[in-house]
Amino acid sequence: MADFEIEFMKIQRNLISLCVNAVSGKAIKVIYVFVGMDGSTREFNFFYRTDSKVASSLTVIGNRETCFDLLDKGRSIAEEIIPLCKSNGMKIPTEIKMMYFLDTGSFDSDVTYDPKPFETNGGEYFNPFMSWFQDEKKKWNRSDSVSASMSVGIDNDAPVVIESESGVIAELSINAETLKQSIDDIRELFNERIVGDKYEQDMFDHAHSELVDFQNGSVDKRIDDIAIDLIRLIDSTRKHIRTFESVKPNADNYRRMLGILSGAAEDLQDILYGHDVENYIVPKGPIDHSRQKVIRIVPTANKAADGKIAARVDEGYERDGEVIRPERVLEYRYDKSFAAKQTDISAQDGDK
């Protein structure tokens, strides 16, 4: 048992080291590492926290190829857990959450054996890594708002007294010379602004032209970046296809293929994260038609289920709070004729 715990801790330590080395020299406070194992599905992923912001690995590291490399290496290391558990007669964990605090060198680990990380329960799809990532983002990411104000001052010594009981002004005494000077200052400022209007308009037109050119260039660069990522994934997928064409079809190869497909989906997800596109699932409740799309109606004999979600088909995707693709769901719809048909079937079964 002691040997098992030492080896199990060694695997976790290797995963942490992999993520630490990737951000050497960066101001990182905490490293979050996730391992999920559900049947043939293997997931390894990680993210970081700086002083006050939680960010994905791709955002912090900044190099997509490096991130894909790390995900492959991490999955390989995580898979060592399975033979270790089997050889020691131990149950294989379905979920491991690790946190490493760089300031103190302390380490925290949460190992779960149930429920399964990627289970679908009553139409509810649940991805524990994304849930953990989103929870930490909500906890740590802050946006500060700054407000500015401008005021034209009149002599602070000039008294303004208001009668509190009657609510009428009893005395308003402002030095006339001070008021005249303030008006002159405003007039001078106004004249200067009139003279400067044409210059400011020319500057604005020039800046706007440069901004349009910059935005067009940014769009082209973003398209190129996405294309490179997708080309790299296509090359990798074709390589796997050639490999599987040369091996005999069996249960082990089938499981390997499922793991590779799962990895490809994660790689695509990372590409989206790198371009600020995030997936989401609307919490339980009434269907939100602004963020969910009903793709099929499921008839039901249960009046209480009418209008509720029958199943979640695909996650939604958004960028900067704007929905790109709504979550796709099936909706229960009470059908009187369907209810009557179900009643007739039940009655026939009872007669038998």
305 inside domain = yes
- CA–CA gap between residue 107 and residue 33 (Å, rounded): 11
User: Of 282, 297, 296, 291, nearest to 325 (Cα)?
Assistant: 291
Residue finishing a domain among 275, 300, 335:
275
Residue finishing a domain among 82, 116, 140:
140
Q: Are residues 221 and 306 in the same domain?
A: no
Tell me the pairing of strands 327-334 and 292-300.
parallel
Measured between alpha carbons, how far is residue 213 from residues 65, 178, 199, 218 in Å?
A: 29, 50, 22, 9
The phi, psi pair for 140, rounded to 5°, reads -110, -30
- CA–CA gap between residue 60 and residue 72 (Å, rounded): 18
Residue 64 maps to which CATH number?
3.30.500.20
- For the ranges 37-41, 115-119, 204-208, 310-314, the lowest mean pLDDT is seen at 115-119
- CA–CA gap between residue 344 and residue 337 (Å, rounded): 11
| Predicted pLDDT at 329 | 94
| Predicted pLDDT at 228 | 80
| Predicted pLDDT at 111 | 92
Tens digit of each residue's pLDDT (9 = 90 or more) over 262-305: 888 888 888 888 878 888 999 888 899 999 999 999 988 888 88
Q: Are residues 10 and 136 in the same domain?
A: yes
Cα-to-chain-centroid distance, residue 317: 9
Q: Decide which of 251 and 81 is more confident.
A: 81
Residue 316 maps to which CATH number?
2.30.22.10
Residue finishing a domain among 244, 260, 275:
275
Q: Are residues 114 and 8 in the same domain?
A: yes
- CA–CA gap between residue 343 and residue 341 (Å, rounded): 5
User: Of 266, 317, 276, nearest to 118 (Cα)?
Assistant: 266
Structure tokens at 91: 């149950």
| Predicted pLDDT at 184 | 66
Q: Report pTM.
A: 0.42
Q: Are residues 192 and 215 in the same domain?
A: yes
Q: Are residues 7 and 41 in the same domain?
A: yes
- As a whole number, mean pLDDT of residues 220-231 equals 75
Residues 71 and 44 sit within 8 Å (Cβ to Cβ): yes
| Predicted pLDDT at 170 | 35
Q: Are residues 12 and 111 in the same domain?
A: yes
Is the model's pLDDT at 226 over the cut of 90? Answer: no
For residue 68, which amino acid is it?
Answer: F
Q: Are residues 267 and 287 in the same domain?
A: no
Number of domains present in the structure of the chain: 3
Q: Are residues 22 and 132 in the same domain?
A: yes
Tens digit of each residue's pLDDT (9 = 90 or more) over 195-206: 455 555 555 565
Q: Are residues 54 and 125 in the same domain?
A: yes
The string of DSSP letters for 148-188 reads: --------TTS-EEE-TTT-SEEEE---HHHHHHHHHHHHH
Tens digit of each residue's pLDDT (9 = 90 or more) over 227-243: 787 887 888 888 877 88
The string of DSSP letters for 74-126 reads: HHHHHTTHHHHHHHTTPPPPSEEEEEEETTTTEEEEEEE-SS-TT-EETTEE-
Tens digit of each residue's pLDDT (9 = 90 or more) over 91-142: 889 899 999 999 888 999 999 887 654 555 555 556 788 888 888 888 887 5
Confidence band (pLDDT; 50, 70, 90) for 17? very high
| Predicted pLDDT at 172 | 37
Q: In what order do the strands lie in the sheet containing 95-101?
A: 54-56, 41-49, 30-38, 95-101, 106-112
- As a whole number, mean pLDDT of residues 170-192 equals 56
For residue 218, which amino acid is it?
Answer: S
Q: Are residues 47 and 83 in the same domain?
A: yes
Domain encompassing residue 240: 183-275
Q: Are residues 216 and 300 in the same domain?
A: no
